[in-house]
Amino acid sequence: MSPDEYCQQKAAQSGSSFYYSFLFLPPERRRAITALYAFCREVDDTVDECTDEAVARTKLVWWRKEVRAMFEGEPTHPVMRALQVHLSVYQLEEKYLQAIIDGMEMDLNQTRYLDYPAMTRYCWHVASVVGILSASIFGATRPETLLYAEKLGHAFQLTNIIRDVGEDARKGRIYLPINELQQFNVTAADLLNARHSENFENLMRFQVARAQKAYDEAFALLPAEDRRAQRPGLIMAAIYRTLLSEVERDGYHVLKQRISLTPIRKLWLAWKTYVRG
């Protein structure tokens, strides 16, 4: 299996909505973004699938060294070998790849966030940085496009946090800010024990509204001349905003189930967004 084939398999197996946004890219850009996505999956799985925290930390140290080795021209992992050929073409910077690992390490260091600025810092590491790198691969000609991508990544992560409230709680993690739980009279125990209530619905209504606002703010930053190149991000946004609508329609029942869209619906949204340009 070649490095590109390894990355393709990693991306396809994940079933992520990101996969659908890659389908309409030219082959070279598709290979680059698939390699980047595979890297994110590898380091994320290091934390999520490893039950021994010490082992997870050791693996993240290894990944840091492997990123450094990639920029020095001597990577060993197939994902790094696949990504290496695209570094100079799309001006991908090491600091951003290391920042992604920092974000994964944050999941080992803390399970609660005091307020929205603290949660935003986490979102920047695990999502906004990915947005910046992705926009570079898609084709960004203006600095405003990278600001758009940074904001869009933040909106994506807010959506993930909303969708995965129950799943994360079962892992002992609560990303919703503590002061906002207090504001809506929802306790950490309510989330950990999957207690749905009117207070919880009000909390989630607030979270969804903020996520939708983040999408609007991101779109406002995207220069018209880069819009066609950035269609993969717009495809993802269409899928994720539809997911938010489903969460609302379902009455915010995210504590005991994971709301998702069918593959055919994701493909339809992807095609519709691509044709719309």
DSSP per position, 201-252 = HHHHHHHHHHHHHHHHHHHHHS-GGGTTTTHHHHHHHHHHHHHHHHHHHTTS
Nearest C-alpha neighbor of 42 from the set 21, 25, 23, 62: 62
Phi-psi category of 172—alpha, beta or left, where left has phi over 0 and alpha has psi -120 to 50?
A: left
pLDDT tens for each residue of 164-200: 999 999 999 999 999 999 999 999 999 999 999 999 9
| pLDDT of res. 71 | 97
- DSSP string for 40-91: HHHHHHHHHS-S-HHHHHHHHHHHHHHHHHHHTT---SHHHHHHHTTTTTTT
Joined tokens for residue 200: 């919880």
| pLDDT of res. 148 | 98
| Total Cβ atoms within 10 A of residue 95 | 8
Contacts (Cβ under 8 Å, ≥6 apart) of 108:
47, 53, 56, 57, 60
Q: Round to whole Å and give the CA distance between 232 and 137.
A: 10
Averaged pLDDT for residues 13-39? 88
pLDDT surpassing 80 at residue 103: yes
Q: Are 60 and 105 in contact (CB under 8 A)?
A: yes
Helix (H, G, I), strand (E, B), or coil: what is residue 102? helix
Percent of the chain with pLDDT over 70: 99
Handedness of CA 53, 55, 58, 60 (dihedral sign): negative
Averaged pLDDT for residues 113-142? 97
Q: Round to whole Å and give the CA distance between 109 and 172.
A: 12
Instruction: Map tokens 């030219």 to a residue.
Output: 26
Mean pLDDT of the chain: 95
| pLDDT of res. 24 | 85
Q: pLDDT tier at 15 (50, 70, 90 boundaries)? A: low
Q: 12 to each of 5, 9, 58, 260, how far by Cα in Å?
A: 10, 5, 27, 17
pTM of this prediction? Answer: 0.95
